[in-house]
Amino acid sequence: MQLSELKIIVTGGAQGMGAHFATRLLEAGAKVAVGDINEEALKALPAGIKRRRLDVGNEADIISFVEWAHAELGGLNGLINNAGIIRDGLLVKKDKTTGAVVKMSTDQFNSVINVNLTGATLMVREVVAKMVGTEQRPGVIVNMSSIARHGNRGQSNYVSAKAALAANTVTWSREFAAFGVRVGAIAPGMIETPMVAGMNQKALDSFIEKIPVGRIGKPEDIWLAVKFIIECDYFTGRTIDVDGGFGF
């Protein structure tokens, strides 16, 4: 599929990687609709990108957004499932001062699952249902997983969501093949985003020392993988790790 043929939604597209993807797509001639809860950041996107508030943790919001995007773009044949949050913490730990046993709360676990897995799944459901209902083909879905899907200390909630999203990339590629819809996923390592910018420099330097290529990634590095999945009609059902060789 050519980028210029796309009528595509980018979730979590107001800043960071999502904003980079949306901008690159627009530059390539695609019609792009961005959804994000950050309404101020949405205003800063380039002219030509359709934008609207979207909370992927809310099913009604998802359904309404997909209907809106379909009308605004004159159809839909793509989705970049990029929206996500982190609420890191150990599942069980002992307080160093008091010795008390502290557990991750159910809310802390469920909030990440609700956005990163349930919301992402509902986005796929609604976009593909719209494609099928309008007999739009071909179509492409790009899910944003993470190298953390292999397991990472302090991220039980995030790992659960990203591992499931990678597994369902295989599931959906098989379910949607009959509709002409391909499904791929990307698992980024550490990428330069507003979230990473707030990290302690000492901790960041320590992390970079473990990356074979000697740096953290840039949004453009991930965009190249997104572009490959969209353009390569022989690619489906797989997750591409883009992590500088770090892994877990």
The amino acid at 132: V
3-state DSSP call for residue 35? Answer: strand
Give the C-alpha distances (Å, rounded to integers) separating 240 from 69, 92, 102, 143, 154: 28, 31, 36, 10, 23
Backbone angles phi, psi at 143, to 5 degrees: -95, 140
Distance separating alpha carbons of residues 46 and 30, to the nearest angstrom: 13
Please state whether beta strands 50-53 and 7-11 pair in parallel, antiparallel, or not at all (unpaired): unpaired
Distance separating alpha carbons of residues 27 and 151, to the nearest angstrom: 36
The amino acid at 196: V
Please name the residue ranges forming H helices in 15-155: 16-27, 39-42, 59-73, 106-113, 120-133
158, 172, 176, 223: the active-site residue = 158
Distance separating alpha carbons of residues 34 and 38, to the nearest angstrom: 11
Q: Using CA atoms of 198, 200, 202, 205 in order, give the dihedral in degrees to the nearest 10.
A: -30
Residue 172 corresponds to which tokens in the numbers above? 């959906």
- Residue 158 annotated as catalytic: yes
CA atoms within 13 A on the CB side of 47: 0
Q: Indicate which residues carry an active-site annotation.
A: 158
